[in-house]
Amino acid sequence: MAVGLTQGVNSRSPGAQDAASLRQVFQSITAESCPRFYNFHMHTVCSDGKLQPEQLMEQAIAIGLAGLAITDHHATQAYHRAQRWLADYHHRLVESDAAPGGSANPLPCLWAGMEVTAELLTDEVHILCYAFDTAHPDVQVYQQSQSVQGEARRAERVVAAVHAAGGLVVLAHPSRYKRSPYDLIPAAADLGFDGIETYYAYNNPSPWQPSPRQTEDAKQLGDRLGLLHTCGTDTHGLTLLQRL
């Protein structure tokens, strides 16, 4: 699910799912995309972050993000709060004539997102889920604000559920696990993952920038396996430009 709103024009609601447009964005992602153009990994107080969803959206607009997703752990409340805030923000702009004649800089496109803990090759991994219908019955088990157990914890079950809900599935920070990305990424591809979080800062540098070696490893593997590449700061703090 996505919400895209543009100053000076009517709001656009592309329907229950908008994975097609997000897939196109992922196909364009480079090392320079994050954190000032796109950010697809962020947390709020609705899981283990410090920002209110409304504060996050204020920062996203101030930074000038073109698109984003909030990926709280096993929760989508922040997405719905951000969605309402963005619609209200657009309404206030229209009411105040803040953008006469339109603006060259549209408001950001907000996609549904969530981070799910799962098992892949017996290793605990995190799966980023995007552009899915949050009301679909298959994904309800993953929106209970806690990790799931049993069969639902298997990576292939998460993939099947999110795909059934019209979304995309991405392996988060593939070099942060016990198993090598050279094992995990091919296994993810075999299970039908759509992409990997290629551009990620593993040592929390300031300013934020993707880790060169891990990025190159993920990029080569992903290209070979036909996977999409994504990016995100994985922010848990008070700024979208850093992880912590």
Residue type for position 122? T
Residue type for position 117? T
pLDDT recorded at residue 235: 98
CATH code of the domain containing 190: 3.20.20.140
pLDDT recorded at residue 49: 98
d(CA 31, CA 142): 30
pLDDT recorded at residue 17: 54
For residue 48, being part of any structural domain is answered with yes
Q: Say how many domains are in the chain.
A: 1
For residue 144, being part of any structural domain is answered with yes
Instruction: Give every CB contact of residue 115 below 8 A, 6+ residues apart in sequence.
Output: 41, 43, 47, 71, 72, 73, 74, 126, 127, 128, 129, 172
Q: Do 87 and 11 contact (CB within 8 A), yes or no?
A: yes
Binned average pLDDT, 10 residues per bin, the chain of 244 residues? 44 55 97 98 98 98 96 98 94 73 70 98 98 97 97 98 97 98 98 98 96 98 98 98 95
pLDDT recorded at residue 100: 47
pLDDT recorded at residue 10: 29
Tokens 């196909």 sit at which residue? 27
For residue 237, being part of any structural domain is answered with no
Tokens coding 162? 């999110």
Please state, as a whole number, how many other Cβ atoms lie within 10 Å of the Cβ of residue 20. Answer: 12
For residue 28, being part of any structural domain is answered with yes
Instruction: Give every CB contact of residue 110 below 8 A, 6+ residues apart in sequence.
Output: 2, 3, 4, 57, 67, 68, 69, 70, 79, 82, 83, 86
Q: Do 195 and 228 contact (CB within 8 A), yes or no?
A: yes
Tokens coding 50? 């410090």
For residue 243, being part of any structural domain is answered with no
pLDDT recorded at residue 97: 67
Give the domain extent around 128.
2-231
For residue 236, being part of any structural domain is answered with no
For residue 244, being part of any structural domain is answered with no
d(CA 207, CA 241): 8
Element (H, E) at 69: strand 67-69
For residue 240, being part of any structural domain is answered with no
Tokens coding 204? 């929390």
